[in-house]
Structure 1
Amino acid sequence: MGENQFSRELRLLTPTHFENVFQQAVPAVSPQLTLLARANQQTHPRLGITISKKRVKKAHDRNRLKRVIRESFRLNQHDLPQADIVVVGKSGLSQLSNQQLFSLLERLWKKLSQRCNP
């Protein structure tokens, strides 16, 4: 059970961490989400999530989306490259059901893994 946690060390915590990813990112794009990744020096991937109030109006929708993203990351973290990953929400994201978002993230994790590990 311990290896599938979403602990503090698996998160991007400071604005500096996010800025580093935005500077030289490898993208995986869909109409609702953009995943940006940059190799890190850790032995594991780290996740940051940005979903703005402008794109997803209601707080309970933003919280639901973040929960699903974190859960998907937690389940797929062992297949992901050693990278800092930022998930950026776009307009229309709140229209997706949990299952649709989960399957979209599965495709984007695979695309990101292929691009980070040539």
Structure 2
Amino acid sequence: MVQTYRLVKQAKMIKTDDFSSVFNFRKRFSLKYLVMHYQPNTLQRARLGLVVGKKTAKLAVSRNYMRRVLREFFRLNQHDICHVDLIIRVQKKFDKVDFIQIKQEFDSLIYKLNQRVILSQHKELTSNDTSK
């Protein structure tokens, strides 16, 4: 199957209930600029939700730039991310000067996320095998 890099509608988290369930799951990673909340899902794809608050950046132009950059990183890496509901929250304002650092931070968080999800799935499988 050929991988497309379109960001389809099903890959976006929009509903408040979806965001609430991920925040209530309470699993997260954080670095200087970004905080990544996640929850494994049963869908065959990763889904993305973005949170950029007014406290982080006063101007809508700045908030929209941050959303655009993060959405693009997700779009390009969506096939490499485990099947999770993912919320990325910006905790420190960034702009074009910080682009490379944000890209590195995003890649680092995705790597940690994939390791953690694969490890937890492996633990579930081994615990199910021992209980039989």
Report matched runs for 1:8-47 at 5 Å: 8-47=9-48
In structure 2, what is the Cα distance between the partners aligned to 1:63 and 1:69?
Answer: 10
Q: Give 1:1-118 correspondences, 5 Å limit.
A: 3-91=4-92, 93-94=93-94, 97-118=98-119
AA in 1 matched with 2:19: F
Please say which structure displays the higher CA radius of gyration. 2
* 1:5, distance to aligned residue in structure 2 (A): 0.8
Aligned equivalents of 2:3, 2:65: Cα separation in 1: 24
Q: How far apart, in 2, do the equivalents of 1:29 and 1:35 lie?
A: 6
Alpha-carbon separation, structure 2, partners of 1:3 and 1:26? 29
- Long gaps (5+) in structure 2: 120-132
SS in 2 for 1:112: helix
* Cα root mean square deviation, aligned: 1.6
- SS in structure 1 of the partner of residue 67 of structure 2: helix
The AA in structure 2 aligned to 1:66 is R
Amino acid at match of 2:10: E
Between the aligned partners of 2:16 and 2:34, the Cα distance in structure 1 is: 20
CA distance in structure 2 between the aligned counterparts of 1:7 and 1:20, rounded to whole angstroms? 22
Q: Matched residues in 2 for 1:11 and 1:26: separation?
A: 19
Alignment check: 8 A CA contact 1:26 1:116 kept: no
TM norm structure 2? 0.82
Contact 2:33 2:102 in 1 (8 A): no
Aligned mates of 1:71, 1:32 — CA distance in 2: 16
